Structure 1
Amino acid sequence: MEVTFYNRTGKPVAFLVKNEDENIISLWNGIAVGYLFEDQIYGWNGKQLGWYIDGIIYDMRGFQVGFTKHRCPVIVTRAPVKPKQLVKGTKQLRELPGKKPPLTKRFSLVELENLLETGRCQ
């Protein structure tokens, strides 16, 4: 199963590939930048990036930064064709989860693509 993530303007930024073993988050260039573990989003580098709850991605401060199509506050634009293959680096050891802040309906100052890019393995 695949899910597209949109930023607050409705632009498709990333997608989630769910299978039996992994829940990988990739950018449209095919580079895996993160994954889901329970309701937490981790970068490939092991850093916690935020939470994914009920179709909304929240940053570490509890602000909304990304959305599925049905949770996006604006009309979404069409997603590009997904790459045939994902480029995955070596997944680093996951850090301990941060304390979940109160979740807000306000938008994060960080753009979704920038947040996900911070999870890239160097």
Structure 2
Amino acid sequence: MRKIIILLVLIFNLTALAQGDISLFNSKGDATAYISTDDEDLTIYLWGGKPVAYLYKNNGEFHVYGFNGVHLGWFINGIVRNHDGNAMGVTKEATSMYTNYEPYKGYKEYKPYKSYREYAPYKPYLSSSWGSMNFKLFLLQGIDD
């Protein structure tokens, strides 16, 4: 059973990466951000084109880091999770909820330089709940403005 789960996770990740951008939806089903697979560092952009974070693979896990070096959470099986283990954003494939129409994306802005990454906290138990913070605000914690 464990081998089947690992195989499904690998297939999901490879399929998502081969499709181009990976759309991320908030708890209301609105397209809020996307992961650009054109970038080698898997940059997370807000729907309007602002780069706010990136995925960093460490020990087989994808960590979500802001360009300011702040560890925001993890990307696990198509779900962006915060430090409490709650879902903040999801891919269409990782949820059974209705997702709204994806509007046109804004032009990608230039990516800022990456700051030194802070240490990641211990990964919490994963919950079936949504985090209380707005997904866009959650991602905006990854930039200095």
Question: Under TM normalisation by the shorter chain, which class is it?
Answer: over 0.9
2-structure distance, mates of 1:103, 1:56: 10
Identity of aligned residues (%): 29
2-structure distance, mates of 1:42, 1:16: 13
Shift of 1:99: 0.7
Q: CA RMSD in A?
A: 1.4
17-26 or 82-91: which moved more? Answer: 82-91
**TM-score of the superposed pair, with normalisation by structure 2:** 0.78
Instruction: From 18, 27, 35, give the equivalent of 1:16.
Output: 35
**TM-score of the superposed pair, with normalisation by structure 1:** 0.92
Shift of 1:5: 0.2
In structure 2, what residue type is equivalent to 1:50? G
Q: Is the 8 A contact 1:8 1:72 kept in 2?
A: no
Show the counterpart of 1:5: 24
Give the unaligned 5+ runs of structure 1. none
- Computing the radius of gyration over CA atoms, which structure comes out larger, 1 or 2? 2
Instruction: From 15, 30, 37, give the equivalent of 2:56.
Output: 37
Instruction: From 83, 87, 90, give the equivalent of 2:106.
Output: 83
Shift of 1:29: 1.9
In structure 1, what residue type is equivalent to 2:49? G
Deviations 1:38-87 (A, max 9, x none): 21100111100011000111111111111001223421011121233333
Give aligned pairs, total.
Answer: 122
In structure 1, what residue type is equivalent to 2:41? E
Q: Secondary structure at the match of 2:99?
A: coil
The structure showing larger relative contact order (alpha-carbon pairs under 8 Å, at least 6 residues apart) is: 1
Structure 2 counterparts to residues 64-103 of structure 1, below 5 A: 64-103=87-126
